Structure 1
């Protein structure tokens, strides 16, 4: 075997630990996909919404930050978080609720910095807000991202004393692909088959509230546009390593709608005018209502899909989120 082949084989093993179920590896290119950035989203959205502005507020003076903290090491790969929290919180006798924020980008692109403006504003409102890195589909296939983010939730509980976190008041918030992940993690707390085996496994991965910002709730659903490979391989197909016809079980397994039961926490849905981005939402609300679980829906009419990144939608997104979390956590 040539030296090049050996190197390629080693890279493959590093990129795809735990690869199972006949998943295709063509998407494991080993380099970041930078197609989704705040500026690329802005350039696209500005064509139809010329008055929008990128939401990039400065770090408020009432907020501290602890950046580039390693929360888990997966097969030799360090994963990082950025934590934002109120100044002098260590002297506050009252433990604070925490929020884990998950960025979007089609499970293949994007990075945690895109959630920093939201995290800063949540910290201003009395929350410990943490933005998390997770392995994307250029590096590792589903369910690697799920394992990573469940480890991040467990990290919050492991470090609750250091950050003055109330371990019984943890929320998860995600946007687009991050919204899908937030809903999935929130509905599968402590499900052994999705936990993974690394990092803080003595802690619970359950959360007490979910904020899904334009994230899909059901992949195989009449409203879903995910998995259309007619022109090119779709982002979801890359993530699963198989089309929805090849491995429908995987696509159902990753759908939050599959898991709704009496243990599901309250959910806030914040949505754009792009209906396919919240496929399965109404079915999920029907299940939640039948179980007596609280939910809210707020839709921004005529808003582009990545509305949370821009004014005039950034401020109401923060406001709806804070009001929802305050309502849910005030009951605990």
Structure 2
């Protein structure tokens, strides 16, 4: 135990030294568990599962910003078959959380024939919107550039995010090909287009009758709604939804505020004949994807949706 603490301390020190910005570690699987346990005493942690057919390659540098390196972790089947890819974005209110929190999820989907990538991106304490959107789109370009290495079919790429990551995933998907959301310098020859979105309890609109976003969103967006209303509107996936939006799956908790803008977005998708699907997990809290009894159901809904589109 002592050794682990030392390793974690050294990792944090290295990360801090490399990036020169404060790190918010408030959003963890344990913090979620402790909060949820009060109202759902039957919950349990999801045990990590190992699969012999899944390769893991971690801390791959996909982008450099001066002396700052951004990394991704790859999980993919060892066979030579070209698989669909899932780009995974963690939650944490745009300022906390990290890519390792989605490892169990990525391992599970990789065992089902998907090449999965957990992405590190700049959080709000380091860089405000749209830096994180540029980062994830650059990661998508890097993944496509290295498609052969990771056994990827580049015509079948999904972006999946949880909570604030769900909002980001939806924004990345609804802005396919929109130059204002592209940083073309790294890997510019490769498209950041995605072919499917999975939004796991992420809002679709910051300023909306169903929304309750405030200070945390403002820290990422660069100010309050009253100060920068155009940015709040621009960063809302609902306002970017159009005929070029790919099919989308919504996996939602029972907490209404995390559905903000969803039904309005579906109305637009229906207008253009774009497929969408809603799966609501009854009596579930936010951040349900970390815990039993909801983890397996989240995997099941994700697999069913992507198999329908890509296999």
Which secondary structure does the structure 2 equivalent of 1:258 belong to?
Answer: helix
Which secondary structure does the structure 1 equivalent of 2:136 belong to?
Answer: helix
Over the residues paired in the alignment, what is the CA RMSD in angstroms? 1.3
| Aligned counterpart in structure 1 of residue 263 of structure 2, from 282, 306, 313 | 282
Which secondary structure does the structure 2 equivalent of 1:161 belong to?
Answer: coil
| Aligned counterpart in structure 2 of residue 244 of structure 1, from 225, 249, 270 | 225
Alignment of 1:1-332 (within 5 A): 30-87=21-78, 89=79, 92=80, 94-227=81-214, 234-330=215-311
Work out the CA distance in 1 between the residues paired with 2:284 and 2:61: 35
Contact 2:158–2:195 (CA under 8 A) maintained in structure 1:
yes
Contact 1:65–1:85 (CA under 8 A) maintained in structure 2:
yes
Work out the CA distance in 1 between the residues paired with 2:220 and 2:146: 30
Work out the CA distance in 1 between the residues paired with 2:42 and 2:121: 33
Quote the residue 1:26 is aligned against: none
Residue deviations 1:246-299, cap 9 Å, x none? 101111111111111111100000000111112000000111111100011011
Q: Where do 5+ consecutive residues of structure 1 fail to align? A: 1-13, 16-28, 228-233
Which secondary structure does the structure 2 equivalent of 1:101 belong to?
Answer: strand
Work out the CA distance in 1 between the residues paired with 2:41 and 2:260: 28
**Structure 1 residue runs of 4+, over 3 Å off?**
none
Which secondary structure does the structure 2 equivalent of 1:263 belong to?
Answer: coil
The TM-score normalised by the length of structure 2 is 0.92
**Which stretch shifts more, 77-86 or 187-196?**
187-196
Q: Where do 5+ consecutive residues of structure 2 fail to align? A: 1-17
Gap change, CA 1:187 and 1:306, over 3 Å in 2: same
Which secondary structure does the structure 2 equivalent of 1:153 belong to?
Answer: helix
Quote the residue 1:6 is aligned against: none
* Structure whose alpha-carbon radius of gyration is higher: 1
Residue deviations 1:219-261, cap 9 Å, x none? 111100001xxxxxx2101101200111011111111111111
Which secondary structure does the structure 1 equivalent of 2:210 belong to?
Answer: coil
Contact 1:179–1:216 (CA under 8 A) maintained in structure 2:
yes
Which secondary structure does the structure 2 equivalent of 1:162 belong to?
Answer: coil
Work out the CA distance in 1 between the residues paired with 2:203 and 2:66: 29
